[in-house]
């Protein structure tokens, strides 16, 4: 098990380049199932989740090869050579594996995917995915932990549907199912995340007919077949946010290269309100902070609201902000496990259901803490940047699922994070 030790080392200075978006590339890799041929993806992050999705695609019959300079080549065989079965060992490692369901049903008319289990931030059902795919003509049976889906006609058929919540991966799955379906699919209350827009751009380049992406109503007109293409993945806004908040906590001036203000407007406004300076540069965003930041209130919402993935970092920052802050988590009710770790570091945070009341303290004190998931691990690492003494993070391997090498990147900016494996 990896362990990291963080020691306070003053303000951060310098520049950091943001890798491609995890939550975009994983779906785009799955979308490569839809067309025979060679897909090339640029700006692919070197993270564990990409490796896991690569292993998943290999198990399905595709070939994956890393190219120099952060690119990835995926070779998709003819339909008859695909094995539409996603094994438990891989689905269990990464819940995002559920996004192979839509493309497998669209391409093979059949998919057997192991039922994803719980998560470190609570129950994450997949009923929206299954209900919508049923409306498109799939018959599902679930037995012994395996979802077995079969398209009852020769192809999926378009349907008009309203999602109960603008779920990100449900929208991804439905987009990938709809592009090869017969007729028109309308997804109302669709997710609007930049990563959904990126997936749709990839699908459109392959020949899909998609309208309204980036709004709450997406219309897809199914086509007979798609072609493999080359695509550049958008930058990871959650990784960018990590460096914004790291600077807010440690102080300093950091150029976050590749960060796109247009993808993170709510967060930029929130940080400005907290007294953090953010200015657009020719190739990203410069972030500047000094002294204690101001407390603020925030509530997570689907895009364009403040993303749930930012909250662990923001709460780590608010733990030492001036005044009292009130935080509401509206997406994942069980996402507050990192709060117990911040309490171990001396934070004054009261949890009430999906709300937090944070009374900022002058300084946290380094302690031995756990990383419960990718963002929770990053949050305690950031908290350690200005805490008194050493912060030792157990189960830190989670970080490698979503960050190329966060300790090394922070160290380049002047932090002191040591990896003990
Ligand atoms: N939901 C259901 N049923 C479903 C699907 C979702 O009830 O079938 C509920 C969820 O329980 C949750 C809400 O809908 O309360 C929204 O969940 P959503 O489906 O949007 O989340 P997700 O697609 O599973 C993605 C990201 C998460 C990110 C969320 C919210 C990927 C691989 N994951 O999850 O990212 O937190 O959207 O923006 O895209 C991360 O990167 O660390 C991460 C967890």
Quick one: three-class SS letters along 89-117? HHHCCCHHHHHHHHHHHHHHCEEEEECCC
222 C-alpha to ligand 1 centroid (Å)? 26
Report the sign of the C-alpha dihedral through residues 271, 272, 278, 280, in that order: positive
- Say if 3-19+235-420 and 22-232 have the same CATH topology: yes
Q: Is 237 in the pocket of ligand 1 (CB under 6 A)?
A: no
CATH of domain 3-19+235-420: 3.65.10.10
The confidence score (pLDDT) of residue 171 equals 98
Q: Give the pairing of strands 37-42 and 71-76.
A: antiparallel
Q: Is 168 in the pocket of ligand 1 (CB under 6 A)?
A: yes
Q: Which residues of the chain, if any, have pLDDT below 70?
A: 117-122
Question: In this predicted model, what pLDDT tens digit does every residue of 189-223 receive, in sequence order?
Answer: 999 999 999 999 999 999 999 999 999 999 999 99
Q: Is 170 in the pocket of ligand 1 (CB under 6 A)?
A: yes
Which residue's CA is minimally distant from atom 14 of ligand 1? 167
What is the separation, in whole angstroms, between the first and last Cα of the chain? 6
What residue segments make up the domains of the chain, in order of their start? 3-19+235-420, 22-232
From the CB of residue 277, how many other CB atoms can be counted at a distance below 10 Å?
14
The confidence score (pLDDT) of residue 396 equals 87
Question: In this predicted model, what pLDDT tens digit does every residue of 162-192 receive, in sequence order?
Answer: 999 999 999 999 999 999 999 999 999 999 9
Distances (CA, A) of 395 to 181, 245, 262: 43, 22, 34
From the CB of residue 52, how many other CB atoms can be counted at a distance below 10 Å?
19
Identify whether the C-beta of residue 311 lies closer than 8 Å to the C-beta of residue 329.
Answer: yes
Helix (H, G, I), strand (E, B) or coil at 88: helix
Ligand 1 atom at minimal distance to the Cα of residue 303 = 38
Q: What distance in Å separates the CA atoms of residue 258 and residue 383, rounded to the nearest whole number?
A: 24
Q: What distance in Å separates the CA atoms of residue 107 and residue 177, rounded to the nearest whole number?
A: 8
The confidence score (pLDDT) of residue 190 equals 98
Which residue's CA is minimally distant from atom 37 of ligand 1? 168
Q: Is 239 in the pocket of ligand 1 (CB under 6 A)?
A: no
- Topology of 22-232 in CATH? UDP-n-acetylglucosamine1-carboxyvinyl-transferase; Chain (3.65.10)
Helix axes 374-384, 337-344, angle to 10 degrees: 20
pTM check: above 0.95: yes
Q: What distance in Å separates the CA atoms of residue 213 and residue 197, rounded to the nearest whole number?
A: 6
Identify whether the C-beta of residue 42 lies closer than 8 Å to the C-beta of residue 235.
Answer: no
The confidence score (pLDDT) of residue 324 equals 98
Q: What distance in Å separates the CA atoms of residue 117 and residue 128, rounded to the nearest whole number?
A: 16
Q: Which residues are bridge partners to 4 per DSSP?
A: 393, 419
> Can you spell out the DSSP letters for 130-160?
HHHHHHTTEEEEEETTEEEEEESSSS-B--E
Q: Is 129 in the pocket of ligand 1 (CB under 6 A)?
A: yes
Which residue's CA is minimally distant from atom 33 of ligand 1? 23
Q: Which of 23, 116, 199, 329 to mutate to test the pocket of ligand 1 (most atoms within 8 A of CB)?
A: 23
Q: Is 300 in the pocket of ligand 1 (CB under 6 A)?
A: no
Distances (CA, A) of 67 to 24, 39, 89, 167, 394: 19, 12, 26, 32, 33
């Amino acid at each position: 098990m990896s362990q990291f030790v963080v020691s306070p080392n003053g303000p951060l200075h310098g520049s950091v380049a943001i890798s491609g978006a995890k939550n975009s590339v994983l779906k785009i890799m799955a979308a490569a199932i839809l067309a025979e041929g060679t897909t090339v993806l640029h700006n692919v992050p070197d993270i564990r989740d990409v490796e896991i999705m690569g292993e998943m695609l290999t198990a399905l019959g595709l070939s994956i090869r890393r190219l120099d300079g952060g690119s990835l080549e995926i070779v998709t065989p003819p339909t008859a050579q695909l094995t539409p079965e996603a094994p438990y060992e891989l689905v269990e490692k990464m819940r995002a594996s559920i996004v192979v369901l839509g493309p497998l049903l669209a391409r093979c008319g059949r998919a057997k995917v192991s039922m994803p289990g719980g998560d470190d931030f609570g129950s994450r059902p997949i009923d929206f995915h299954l209900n919508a795919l049923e409306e498109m003509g799939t018959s599902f049976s679930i037995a012994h932990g395996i979802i077995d889906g079969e398209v009852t006609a020769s192809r999926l058929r378009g349907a008009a549907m309203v999602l109960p919540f603008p779920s990100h991966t449900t929208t991804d799955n439905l987009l990938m199912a709809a592009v090869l379906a017969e007729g028109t699919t309308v997804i109302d209350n669709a997710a609007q995340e930049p990563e959904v827009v990126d997936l749709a751009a990839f699908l459109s380049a392959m020949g899909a007919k998609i309208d309204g992406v980036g709004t709450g109503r997406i219309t897809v007109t199914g086509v007979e077949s798609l072609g493999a293409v080359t695509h550049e993945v958008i930058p990871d806004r959650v990784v960018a946010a990590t460096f914004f908040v790291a600077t807010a906590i440690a102080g300093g001036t950091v150029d976050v290269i590749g960060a796109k203000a247009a993808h993170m407007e709510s967060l930029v406004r929130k940080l400005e309100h907290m007294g953090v300076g953010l200015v657009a540069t020719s190739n990203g965003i410069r972030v500047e902070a000094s002294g204690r930041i101001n407390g603020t209130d925030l509530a997570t919402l689907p895009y364009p609201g403040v993303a749930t993935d930012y909250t662990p970092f923001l709460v780590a920052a608010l733990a030492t902000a001036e005044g009292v802050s009130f935080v509401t988590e509206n997406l994942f009710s069980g996402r507050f496990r990192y709060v117990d770790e911040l309490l171990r570091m001396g934070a004054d945070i009261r949890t009430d259901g999906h709300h937090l009341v944070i009374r900022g303290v002058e300084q946290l004190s380094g302690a031995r803490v756990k990383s419960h998931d990718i963002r929770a691990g990053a949050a305690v690492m950031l908290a350690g940047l200005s805490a008194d003494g050493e912060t030792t993070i157990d189960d830190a391997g989670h970080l490698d699922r979503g960050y190329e090498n966060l300790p090394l990147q922070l160290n380049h900016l002047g932090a002191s994070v040591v990896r003990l494996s």
